[in-house]
Chain A
Amino acid sequence: MQEKNKEIVITGMGLINPMGYSVNDYWQKMKSNIISISPTKTFDCSDIPIKLTSEITDFDYKKIGNINKRLINKIDKFTHLALVSAEQAIIDAKLDINEDNADRIGVYYGNNSGGWDICQKGYDEYYNEGPTFVNKWQATAWFPAAAQGYISIVHGIKGQSKSFIDDRLSGAHALYFAIDSIRSGRNDIVVVGGSEAPITKLGLVCYADNGCMSFADSTEKYLQEDKLVLAEGSACLILEEHQNAVKRNAKIYGKIIDYDSRKLSVNLQDEFIDEYVKQYNYNNSLNFDNVSIVIPENISPNSIENKFIQKIIKHKKYDTFFSKRNLGHLYGGSTATDVINAIQLINNSSSRKKENVFIFSRNENNTCISFIIGGY
């Protein structure tokens, strides 16, 4: 049974993405309205419809994060990024993981598609050298749960852990069920986040197939559409029950006020908005009274999604922070990044401390996951 009165707070943050290798670095660039989206640089994708991506272009495997060099050779980039963000968050939270608490700490990560880099390498080996020459790390490096596994090994985390794979909602479901795992008593603390590194040739061909990606060849054209640009990166939060955080004297950045996950009928279209609002509101306890900032899924103020949000937040007194406009869409890493955005927005303005941020995530099939984040 869930203890709904268990207050869940955020006590650590970490991230790495094209806008920065730390939360501060990233936020400074976001505040300056820097855009990390550009024509793909790291390989020739002239024949692939996806022209723009948001890449980490100067990533030095050996220098980023305290990752053992032998381990670097065994993992895909998405796991490396996950390890970096998790390490930052654990250090930020001053979380001491030891024999007494390791089985009460879990890892909940979102990843949409596993290890593209190593997947492509494995196919190259298979076809160019032969099936018996596929590298021995393939099996443990490319599957989506690899990040969860390696984080648990590197940090000695033994509690209930899960990897969610759900398109743009991979990280959103990881956060949703991480909160549930604390409320139900399965975990006391969760290292929750997501990671993606799909920007390879094979990855871009796959994503070009999903109908959501921008095929614009310039940032200017992209900013006029309501399509997505693929980003790579990872973000991580330390989530724990409030009393636990107070007991260990943790710094508390913010709290989870409320959350919801549901599926609406497919195809969000203008003529059905009222029906979707009715479906969204059915048995939904989200209270928008103190919401002053919205972080939506999309990047366009004119999108149908924003019309939908205007109908569910009746007071209409809110600003919209289009996080994905500058950074692109991190898929599995998106929600944790948006929670970090929310905390920065709340805590960097003294007037906002009592106000809440509404994060709305949705995939093309109209599964919607919402979080309300508050200051502390």
Chain B
Amino acid sequence: MNRAVITGIGLISPCGTNLEDFKKNLYEGISFVDFDDEMNRLMVKSKVNCKIKDFNLRKHIEEIEKYLSDHQKKYINDILPKQALFIQYGVISALKAIYDSNFLLKDKLIPEESSVIFTSAIGGSPTIQKIYEYLTDMGQHDISYKDTGGIFYNAGMINYISLFISNLLELKGLCTSMSTGCTGGIDSIGLALDVIRSGKSKIVIAGSSEAPLCGITYATLDAINALSVAEGDYNTRSRPFDLTRKGFVISEGSGVLIIEEYEHAKARGAQIYCEVLGYSSSNNALHMTDLVEEGESMSRTIDSAIKDSKTISAEDIDYINAHGSSTPQNDVFETKAFKKSLGDNAYSVKISSTKSLIGHSLASASMFGSIATICSITDGIIHPTINLKFKDPECDLDYVPLYKQKVNVNCALITASGFGGIHSALILKKEQE
């Protein structure tokens, strides 16, 4: 069976648009959650989100375009500035990852051997909302047709990022997109793993992108009491596993990994961050949003991911990057799942939630969790779960509260759950010959 390794990382996140800033801010335990004027004005119950501040597309294009051909420069400059934000985040992250893997500088992507897989939960919601306002004069009258210049369709269709990257780089392998809700990040990596294992591609650009921060998103999630109404300072309102947690903080961003067949990576002398060892995804088949308390459905998924890895057992897991969304039900559910799957080892394994620092960016959240985990494997440091001050008796594992810890992470598990009753789990491991 072909092995899959990670050879490139690119991201646009609230805590950094390059890997160094991203992990530095995570390790230092800095919260990027803040008060949002629009949420307050709309009078939704939650008042906080996690925004990427001062995203300058032009600057990011300038950083990368020196490595592109004239045709590619024209393509990206003509088309990308007009597209929805989640598309801009996704494309820039992908190019950063490709650069990081040395495919823009030294090595060349072989078109027939390179594939693209992207995920997003809700695509271009802010753009669609603006278009609705344009079509209805801010909701004053019924929808009347106006030409939207091709932007509406691309914003509404989640597949545009994959197509853009594939067209830009003239790739000929698989080109697809999924929408699996909040497990999307892990799912793009999982599908890439299967593609590499099967021999259908040597390289997969696997990414996830989300830019959902707009009124309709706040209103929709607020209507089901999903968003954080925790009290206290605004930047503490994402508090996974804490007794006073009360919902998740909505966020945004994009993360992309270059997933490569192991021998191919070795042959070109690629940097290898870690190996993608196992993946699993399943449904709880019970409810679109509720989670069964005993954690059985997530535990089953974890067990299946461990089995898929073929080489590790539950005892080998040193670190879990949890879904840790800061909702009352998820954090108990996950804790029980970890205990069920890891047994006694659950009490010695380190667990942290990236969402405590940068909120929940839906599909891309588990991609950020995966990238944080890769950093832990390479650096031997686990970022903290911040805002964890009041112990919940039902969440009694070691969530690395408040401060980073130096830990040799050889093997790690990343988990995620999403609307639709879906759970996904991923196993990453330090590369070994």
Q: Which residues of A contact B (CB under 8 A)?
A: 1-2, 47-49, 102-103, 107, 111-114, 120, 122-124, 126-128, 130-132, 134-136, 138-140, 143-146, 148-150, 152-153, 155-167, 169, 173, 177, 180-181, 183-184, 186, 201-202, 205-211, 261-266, 279, 282-283, 365, 367
Contacts and interface: CB of A to CB of B under 8 A. Distances in A.
- Bin chain B's interface residue count: 35 or more
B150 A209 contact: yes
Contact of B282 (A128, A156, A159): A159
B178 A127 contact: no
B38 to A, nearest CB: 10
Nearest to A163: B179
Interface stretch (B52-60, B138-146, B402-410): B138-146
B376 to A, nearest CB: 27
Contact of A127 (B136, B163, B187, B222): B136
Contacts of B180: 145, 148, 162-163
B421 A153 contact: yes
Contacts of B147: 209
Contacts of B181: 143, 145, 149
A106 B167 CA distance: 32
B174 interface: yes
The 7 closest A-B pairs by CB, nearest first: A127-B139, A149-B420, A131-B219, A152-B283, A209-B153, A144-B179, A140-B288
Contacts of B105: none
Contact of B222 (A132, A152, A180): A132
A114 B222 CA distance: 20
Interface string B202-226: 0000000000000110111111101
Interface stretch (B154-162, B269-277, B318-326, B338-346): B154-162
17 contacts: A1-B2, A2-B198, A132-B219, A134-B219, A139-B223, A150-B420, A152-B285, A153-B287, A157-B285, A160-B282, A165-B157, A173-B176, A202-B135, A205-B145, A206-B152, A207-B153, A209-B149
Contact of B288 (A113, A153, A159, A211): A153
Given A144-B179, A201-B143, A365-B166, A166 B159 contact: yes
Contacts of A111: 179
B64 interface: no
Contact of B159 (A132, A138, A139, A165): A165
Given A113-B156, A126-B219, A206-B153, A139 B177 contact: no
B285 A158 contact: yes
Contacts of B176: 164, 166, 169, 173, 177, 261, 367
A164 B178 contact: yes
B156 A206 contact: yes
A208 B138 contact: no
A322 to B, nearest CB: 25
Given A131-B219, A134-B216, A145-B181, A279 B287 contact: no
A98 to B, nearest CB: 12
A176 to B, nearest CB: 8
B148 A167 contact: no
B80 to A, nearest CB: 16
Contacts of A181: 194
